[in-house]
Amino acid sequence: MTTKKNATLDTDLSDSRTQRYLAIQPDIKRYLEYTLLPHHTDLFQKQSTPTTPYQELDLAELLHDGEILCKLGQLVSELGETKVQNPTLRFKSSRMAFVQMENISWFIQLCHLIGVPQDEIFQTVDLFERKDMYQVCVTIMSFSRIVHELQPTVFKEVVGPKKSKVRPSVPSKPRSLRS
């Protein structure tokens, strides 16, 4: 009986994340196009198939090989205070799965370097095996906020919710509970 409840909870959580992914996907695609097209005019056309233009492709299909993520990462020239080379410069175009996964991992490394919070970074399998596409979107949203602060002339837009500047006040302990 517990297994059935857990399965239902897992299914509900998965469905919820899928719905959120489907809702935010168009905004993420628009952000990627707006940011990358001035620098890489044919990047999205390469993703098209004879029967399907890239605009109709799912975000997972567009990002699957890591090329778009690496091209996005290559626009970052300021890595904060680190003197490390941008890992997305190691991008290799390939149809081999391990190279595509490596490309995705270069973007993830860049996210770590620029300060994307660990809990907002997806894992390679989340994208490559389409396990959690909403987490991929969360990473791109966080990435967009951070790079917009680093290089507002290159990354003119931010996708997703804006980061809150004001922290809510923490309520004080009731007098009866104070020691």
Give me the domains of the chain, ranges plus CATH numbers.
2-48+57-161 (1.10.418.10)
Main-chain phi, psi angles of 80, to 5 degrees: 70, -135
Tell me which range, 125-134, 154-163, 166-175, is most confidently predicted by mean pLDDT. Answer: 125-134
For residue 58 the two structure tokens come to: 């799912």
Mean pLDDT of the 150-179 span: 82
Three-state DSSP at 160 gives coil
Please tell me the pTM assigned to this model.
Answer: 0.83
pLDDT tier at 45 (50, 70, 90 boundaries)?
Answer: confident
pLDDT reported for residue 160: 85
pLDDT reported for residue 85: 83
Half-sphere exposure of 48 (CA within 13 A, CB side): 11
CA distance 140 to 134: 10
pLDDT reading at 53 higher than 60: yes
Cα 19–Cα 21–Cα 25 angle in degrees, nearest 5: 125
- Which residue's entry shows tokens 């660990």? 118
Q: In this predicted model, what pLDDT tens digit does every residue of 108-122 receive, in sequence order?
A: 999 999 999 999 999
Judge contact between 51 and 45, C-beta under 8 A: no
Q: Among 6-15, 58-67, 98-107, 126-135, which is the least confidently predicted range? A: 6-15
Judge contact between 106 and 73, C-beta under 8 A: yes
pLDDT reported for residue 133: 96
pLDDT reported for residue 1: 45
Judge contact between 73 and 86, C-beta under 8 A: yes
pLDDT tier at 161 (50, 70, 90 boundaries)?
Answer: confident
Burial of 169 from C-beta contacts in 10 A (0-12 / 13-18 / 19+) = exposed
